[in-house]
Structure 1
Amino acid sequence: MKFHRQLLALSLSAALTAGMTITASAQGTVTVSVNGTKSNVSAFTNADWRTMVPAEIADSLGLSYTAQDSSVTFTGNGISQTYTAGVPVGDTTPAMVAGKLYVPFYHLAQTFGFEVSWDGAARNADAAAGKADTDSVAPIDLNAYLLDHTEKTNDTTRALPIDRTEVNEHPLTGYYGYTLSNGRTIKLYMPEHAALRSYITVIAIPNGVTDTYAFLEEQGWIEQADQYGELLFVLEPANGTWGSVEAERDYLNICIGETVGNTAFDTRSTSNSLLQSGTVSLSDGTSCPVFTGHSCNYYVGYDEGCAVLESWTSNNPMYVAAQALIAGKSAGSEVLDHSAARTYNGINTGSYYPGIDDTAFAEQLGKMAAEKAAPSAQFIKNSDIPVPTLLAGYSEQDESVAYWKSVNDAVSTSEEGVYRQSLNSDAWQTAYANDIAKRWGAQYGISQVKVTQETSLSAAEVHDFMDGYTRYTNPFAYSNALGVRTDYYQTTKAAREAAENGKVLSSYAFEAVDGQEKTVELRALKSTRLTNPGGSAVSGTLYSCISAFHDYDGNGVMDPRETIMYIPDTAKKYGEDGAPVVVVFPGNTQAAATFFDCSMWWSIANDEGCAVIIIGEYCKNSAAGLTYGDEADNADFSRSALQLMDRVVSQDAGVKINMERVYGSGHSLGCRTVQTLTHNSEAGSYAAVGATSFPNAQFTADDRMPSYLLVGQADISEALPDPRANDLVKDPWTVTADSAIYNWVRGACQMNGLDFSFTPNDHNSFLSTCSEYVEAGRYYTYTWADEAQIPLVQFTRTLAREHNCYPEEFRLAWDFLEHYSLSEDGTRYYSPSAFEKDDAVAIS
């Protein structure tokens, strides 16, 4: 099979082209040779004037082949090519002649790197071994490199140095080899300017590959990684040959095994695999963080690697954003049936909170289903979890084709070989994205299965299929979400690259949180159009903005930080009033880019016309990890980012920003960060705040702040005697020192001048304090309003959700935020129509 464009680019000379397409009168018997030596196989030219040869030509070409019915598959040097009678390939069609399958000689030879020439006088086609167009690259020994280039931070841990001239980029670049404790190997490719927390493509190479780098380059994967700034994680067979699915299970778990989960009726051992942790164990007994990925990645199998990889992806679909299986064989019905039956309950092994016992969870799902808040009352199985899948070289009757079509609730379309997810799919993981698609007029759901007999797919073609998808980093089945990935990663890479020289494009003064005047430097600004993403009728412009406002290492030079800014075309509808803007703080370790994708804030922006700023974290303590600074640093970043949005980005987009309608949002540590800012130093900059899964503890601002918090049913539980005393799982009417939600609601109500007095631990008494409440569906929501019935504090408990949020919650947050504004004189307003009408009233 020829998987790559580079070998396709081996073109015939003009003479060859003429010889292979000579007039019909020249049709008939011909001969073929390999490296000048005549082959004794029979050959002829067909009606397309193409030289046709039988499978036995493999011996002369140094290939192996297997024939089955009317198909034959040739393999060699990690490449394979399948031909089937009656199925076109190139510009002709293999055919059965006297019971024997004949295939096009020039297509077969070129696939395996031969250069073909035609001797018209002798009527002979010759295949000569072509000169390799790929230089072999030896991998760097990752263990030895880290021992030589890192320092111990303690007896068990090493750390790579932080380069503050770079913007959230992986600390290592290049091609590395690593040997696991069991003697097996993997390869890593980390290109220049690869972003931390970027997507990773996991590749299971075929049998017989002697040079992994050459294989990756020939397929085009090196080029793809370089182009998008993404990582390659390569699985290699032992001694060049993959074992059975069972034999490879331990290798897969060590390399890519999941970290947490909620499996019922099956013991799921948690795994600190290399892919999920990004931490490498070294020969001196220490370990070192090397990379950090998105966790939900892309998976590609070739030939014999397909079944092995499929055994893992079918069993762990929540970690798979999309997959491609090329010229392989199915893992088999026994493996797929076993994977399909894996069931998920409300238990949350290894996460923040143990979760809910089976009896209570089953009862809860039944209630949610009856209230149309859940697709089903049944526990989720792997067979219910969609995974976008490309199958190349698989017949329509193959077990894998049937399995993935079923998993994706896929239906036939007018496009041959393409099966789209039904909009009536009951999959939890696509419910939100499909609801958006339905409102946008889509005919099908977002997931799909594509089946093609073309096995000579380039990496670009495979990547193009997969990179339309993202998956939220969430191993809890009931809030795991498959979504649409937008195409802008080349833009963020270009911005990081442009900022590396430290050149200042422009600078702007702003008042820092300490009252001093401070400067923000614009280091790079790159943009791209997102044209009708996800089928939206709306397009927009995404900006990758690199700025600097603080010197983190004390060398006298301010260090770059990253933000993603998005302005939809619908923002122009606000005219001179200006579009609202939401400042979003991702969860700890999350990158701005991937959070823009998986939170789906872009879809809210398109629908509502709001601008969005995604705040980027930085390498504070680790070169391979991201986090936030202290409160003052976060406040200054927020202020400087709003300056750049107002004075640079919005003007470039031709849109006015309404600085009286600045809203805060975020998730996890980002939620605590934005809640802390808005209830303290930044209360005078934000009109309202709505965020998920980590409340703040301080309310010091002498001001009101419309506040909304959404928390999962099985969220963080750091209950006493844990010194953090931060239990988000306790009900808000539970009054204890560690009852985080009670403490947050009390603080938010007090800040907004609302009475929150009730009998402790009394549910009904608690409800009596609410202006309204909803204890039905998935979102149990409690609201507190002032005497004018203006809602000022709101709390939602999301059922069947652990700590990592569900993207629909951000739309709920927007539905709260859009009603508030903060004028220059400090007066807050509430508009029932979200300022579509002249109905704004002052909040007194």
Structure 2
Amino acid sequence: MTYIDRRQLLRGTAALAAAAALTPIDSPAYAAAALGAAQPLDGRPFPAYDYTRANKLPREMTGYWTKSFDVGGVTRTAKVYISAETPIRAYYTVVAVPDRADTAEFLQSSGWRDVADRRQEGLFVLEPGPSGWADAEQEAAYVAAALGFYQSNNYFSIFGENYFVGYGNGAPALEAWAVANPLKVIAQAYVDSPGLNAAYLASYASREYDGQTQYSPVDFPAGFRLIRYDETVLPTWYIRPEKHRAGASVAYWKRSNDTVSACSYDDVLGTVYRQRPGSGRWMTSHAGPISKVAVQTHGAATRQIVEFLTAYTRYENSFAYGNQLYERADFRRLGIEVHTMQVEGFVREYLVYRPRSARRNAPVLFVWPGDSQTDKVFVDATQWWKVADREGILLVFVCEQYSRTSVVVSHRDSLAFYRQLRDVITARYDVDPTRFYSTGQSAGSGVTQNLAIAFPEYFAAVASSSFPTAPNAAGTVSLDGVAYPASGRKIPNYLIYGYGDIQGFVGTLWDDTQNQTDSWAQYHLGVDGLVLSDVDTIAGRRSGFHDRFQTWTWYDKGARVPILKLTRNVYRSHNTTAEEPPLLWDFLKHYSREIAPDGTVTRYYSPSAFDRPGDRRRI
């Protein structure tokens, strides 16, 4: 453990005075070489593909970088630190350093560099102008320019949701952006901050989120109450705030997080206001009241800030009604395994999670993320790990391969990858090969659905979201650019999509528009010997938070068990929400299949999900 001499720091710059509040710091990286001068990104060619690494940013992009911006004729800069093992779509912490800080020295002495190295994550660092930080509204153009670059560039890629930490006079500039863009911030902490003024906060508080999405608009029912900006749950920690100036900010975030009026005290966090039990906030409709606002009048260690922030994750940064705050998976504590294998000549990554609840002969669920959504992204975005904990499932998350740039991934060699994974999982773990299932979101749903059509014998059942597929006019589906004939054989299948989803998926099976969802249903109904009118109810059965799920079910005529199911989430766009995996698993878990030596597939349905011996029935 390394301690920083508090008296020496207090005699130094304001930046080091801020760092003094963050001691002691566990920081073995201090023994490493200093960061030195940042290398410029301005004019630098985009990095080449690095196929020697599975799900990592190119090796040439690791290290310490600087990027400049022209803001009203003044050159401003921001820094980027990328650890040696930072993956594609990693979490980043956005740090606003205090006035007069030497950024490299601050990242080193405060421990933030070590945090990035240990956690295999990145840092994006906002810096004051030549005369120091101006007030938050004057800094808005700089913050917008810097974060605009950070959110979309071809040098590195980010998770898409962010942790914010601001110091001193840099804190309000960062907080102001969070107030204006709360869907994009997971959690935030501000050290020695004066906070924001009440007028600025009020200018955003009553703004409402409408039904516009980047795909298709969501039409709300009559009398529906829109979510306000100041109802966006966002965990917040104020550390040693300016006593007489930060009150408006603290009050704003308490209201936003729907906290109780009575506080509790925590040795680390200080005074804590927890989200109200039974809170009706949209952003915690699945996880429950997990958020909080805390105020600590003393200092805090960097590691304590990190622990506060990284207890949380968030997903869906553009549509409020699908945005959710969750508990972040701790890979080390959970024992999530990270593996690689060679697939068609390329090294590929995959994750395996075998929870303690998984018994002998555990069922296996293969999870295919959406385009650009890596295996690590999808652990948190879907919260499948919590379903696995509860249900005893062995999860296998597939990671994609570098695609349209060297910092983005998409699906490749999926058929070969699955065949290899199936054999490895069967040999290495105590699993039930009659209960292999597949799920996926978006492009990952496309993989799942195409496998179900071409190779239904691979799975006992499939259930996926936001990408229906069907055979083309030639009667084939495509996997990795290769056409495979549709098998014409039944497989239990469940699909969920959003009201505001990709245009080719939206609507219902009873409207006048023929699209991919209609084609998906027509193929599987035909294979199952059913027609559209065999549905349980044309209106759809409603369930979930605000009755958001509208579900139609078709039953196998022989066994009278569900064989095809479709749900429309009327309050989401294209991106997944963790409210859906429990629905998908509740469908999947009832099915098994056996394959005879001659290749004949026999399928079974168990009302108890195979908990009661002898209750399965043949489909």
Is TM (by shorter chain) over 0.5? yes
Task: For residue 174 of structure 1, report the CA deviation from its aligned partner.
Answer: 0.8
Query: Which whole-Å CA distance do the structure 1 matches of 2:564 and 2:258 have between them?
Result: 40
Q: Which residue of 2 aligns with 1:563?
A: 350
Note if contact 2:163-2:185 (Cα within 8 Å) is conserved in structure 1.
yes
Question: For 1:254, what is the secondary structure of its paired residue?
Answer: helix
Q: How many Å apart are 1:736 and its aligned residue?
A: 4.3
Offset of residue 771 of structure 1: 2.8
TM superposition shift of 1:135: 4.2
Residue of structure 2 equivalent to 1:586: 369
Residue aligned with 1:143, SS: coil
Aligned with 1:382 (options 219, 225, 229): 229
Alignment partner of 1:199 is 2:91:
yes
The answer to whether structure 1 residue 542 and structure 2 residue 331 are counterparts is no
**Does 1:467 find its partner at 2:310?**
yes
Question: Which of 57, 81, 84 is residue 170 of structure 1 equivalent to?
Answer: 57
When normalised by structure 1's length, the TM-score is 0.66
Residue 404 of structure 1, CA deviation: 1.4
CA 1:304–1:728 in structure 2 vs 1: closer, same or farther (change >3 Å)? same
What SS is found at the alignment partner of 2:321? coil
Q: For the structure 1 residues 163 and 134, does the alpha-carbon distance in structure 2 shift closer, same or farther, using more than 3 Å as the test?
A: closer
Deviation at 1:769, TM superposition (A): 2.8
Q: Does 1:290 align with 2:155?
A: yes
Choose from 530, 550, 555 the match for 1:785.
555
Aligned position for 2:385: 602
Which residue is equivalent to 1:216?
107
Contact 1:134 1:214 in 2 (8 A): no
Distance 1:111 1:823, change over 3 A: closer
Q: Distance in 1 between matches of 2:350 and 2:530?
A: 36
CA contact (8 A) 1:734 1:742 kept: no
1:689 matched to 2:462: yes
- 1:79 counterpart = 2:16: yes
For 2:611, the equivalent position in structure 1 comes to: 836
Displacement after TM superposition at 1:544 (Å): 0.8
One-letter identity of the residue aligned with 1:769: D
Going from structure 1 to structure 2, the CA distance change for 1:134 and 1:247 (only over 3 Å counts) comes to farther
AA at the equivalent of 1:771:
D
Matched residue, 1:228 = 119
Unaligned runs of 5+ in 1: 13-33, 35-57, 64-75, 83-106, 113-131, 148-158, 257-272, 280-288, 367-376, 435-444, 489-527, 531-540, 552-558, 651-655, 718-726, 757-767
Report the Cα offset of residue 822 of structure 1.
0.9
Distance 2:236 2:216 in 1: 32
User: In structure 1, which of residues 308, 314, 321 is the aligned counterpart of residue 179 of structure 2?
Assistant: 314
Query: In the alignment, does 2:479 pair up with 1:702?
Result: no
Which residue of structure 2 aligns with residue 189 of structure 1?
A: 81
- Segments of structure 2 that go 5 or more residues without pairing to the other structure are 25-30, 472-476, 478-485
- Identity, % of aligned positions: 33
AA aligned opposite 1:353: S
Q: In the alignment, is the contact (CA less than 8 A) between 1:730 and 1:740 conserved in 2?
A: no
Q: How many residues align?
A: 577
Amino acid at match of 1:143: D
1:666 maps to which of 437, 440, 443? 440
- Hey, what's the Cα distance between the residues in 2 that align with 1:228 and 1:207? 27
**Equivalent residue for 2:279, pick from 425, 446, 450:** 425
Contact (CA 8 Å) 2:469, 2:519: kept in 1 or not?
A: no
CA radius of gyration, larger in: 1
Residue pair 2:47, 2:406 contacting (<8 A) in 1 also: yes
Alignment counterpart, residue 398 of structure 1, candidates 241, 247, 250: 247
1:807 aligned onto 2:578: yes
How many angstroms does 1:184 deviate by?
Answer: 1.7
Residue identity opposite 2:149 in structure 1: L
**How far 1:79 moved relative to its partner?**
3.5
2:522 is matched with which residue? Answer: 746
Question: 1:303 and 1:391, CA in 2 relative to 1: closer, same or farther beyond 3 A?
Answer: same
Quick one: distance in 2 between partners of 1:232 and 1:807? 27
Among candidates 289, 295, 312, match of residue 451 of structure 1: 295
CA separation of 1:249 and 1:795: change in aligned 2, threshold 3 A: same
Could you tell me which of 727, 733, 739 is aligned with 2:510?
733
**TM-score, normalised via structure 2 length:** 0.89
CA distance in 1, matches of 2:548, 2:316: 21
Q: Secondary structure at the match of 1:185?
A: strand
2:215 counterpart (352, 357, 360)? 352
**Which amino acid is 1:647 matched to?**
A
Q: Using a 3 Å threshold, how does the CA distance of structure 1 residues 400 and 180 change in structure 2: closer, same or farther?
A: same
Contact 1:429 1:480 in 2 (8 A): yes
SS at match of 1:403: helix
How far has the Cα of 1:389 moved from its partner? 1.1
CA-CA distance at 1:473 after TM superposition? 3.2
Secondary structure of 2:410's counterpart equals coil
- Residue 441 of structure 2 contacts residue 466 of structure 2 at CA under 8 Å; is this kept in 1? yes
Q: 1:452 to 1:741 in 2, by over 3 A?
A: same
Deviation of 1:684 after TM superposition, in Å, equals 1.1
SS in 2 for 1:604: helix
Are the equivalent residues in 1 in contact too, given 2:34–2:108 (CA < 8 A)? no
Letter of the structure 1 residue corresponding to residue 452 of structure 2: T
What is the one-letter code of the residue matched to 1:352? Y
Task: Supply the distance in 2 between the matched residues of 1:241 and 1:307 (Cα, whole angstroms).
Answer: 13
Q: Report SS of the residue matched to 1:241.
A: coil
Alpha carbons of structure 1 residues 385 and 227: separation in structure 2 relative to 1, 3 Å? same
Are the equivalent residues in 2 in contact too, given 1:294–1:473 (CA < 8 A)? no
**Aligned twin of 2:37:** 138
Amino acid at match of 1:786: D
| Structure-2 separation of matches of 1:311 and 1:229 | 28
- Residue from 410, 413, 418 that aligns with 2:264: 413
Specify the SS of the correspondent of 1:827.
Answer: strand
Indicate if the aligned counterparts of 1:389 and 1:450 stay in contact, CA closer than 8 A: yes
Q: Could you tell me which residue of structure 1 aligns to residue 536 of structure 2? A: 771
Could you tell me how far apart the structure 2 residues matched to 1:173 and 1:143 are?
16
2:209 and 2:66 map into 1 onto residues whose CA distance is 36
Q: Closer, same or farther in 2 for the Cα pair 1:623/1:81, shift >3 Å?
A: closer
Q: Deviations over 1:42-80 (max 9, x none)?
A: xxxxxxxxxxxxxxxx9xx866xxxxxxxxxxxx34234
| Structure 2 counterpart SS, 1:253 | helix
Which letter does structure 2 place at the counterpart of 1:801?
R
**8 Å contact 2:216–2:499 — kept in the other structure?**
no
Cα distance between partner residues in 2 of 1:695 and 1:11: 60
Contact preservation (8 Å) 2:337, 2:353: yes
What is the deviation of 1:811?
0.8
Structure scoring higher RCO (CA < 8 A, sep ≥ 6) equals: 2
**How far apart in 1 are the matches of 2:301 and 2:37?**
23
Cα distance in 2, alignment partners of residues 751 and 569 from structure 1: 38
Q: 1:769 to 1:433 in 2, by over 3 A?
A: same
Query: In the alignment, which residue of structure 1 is the partner of 2:431?
Result: 657
What amino acid is aligned across from residue 554 of structure 2 in structure 1?
Answer: W
CA distance change for structure 1 residues 789 and 333 in 2, over 3 Å: closer, same or farther?
same
Shift of 1:586: 0.7
What do residues 185-210 of structure 1 show as CA deviations (whole Å, max 9, x unaligned)? Answer: 1111111011010101101111111x
Cα deviation for residue 11 of structure 1 reads 8.9
Pairwise CA distance, 1:424: 1.1
Note the alpha carbon deviations across 1:313-368, whole angstroms, 9 max, x for none: 122111111111011111111112222222101122xx112443xxxx251xx4xx
Using the TM superposition, give the Cα deviation of residue 594 of structure 1 relative to its aligned residue in structure 2, in angstroms. Answer: 1.7
Looking at structure 1, the residues matched to 90 and 35 of structure 2 have their Cα atoms a distance apart, in angstroms, of 26
Verify: 1:478 aligned to 2:321, yes or no.
Answer: yes
2-structure distance, mates of 1:679, 1:389? 47
Residue 87 of structure 2 aligns to which amino acid in structure 1?
A: A
Q: 2 CA distance for matches of 1:136 and 1:564?
A: 32
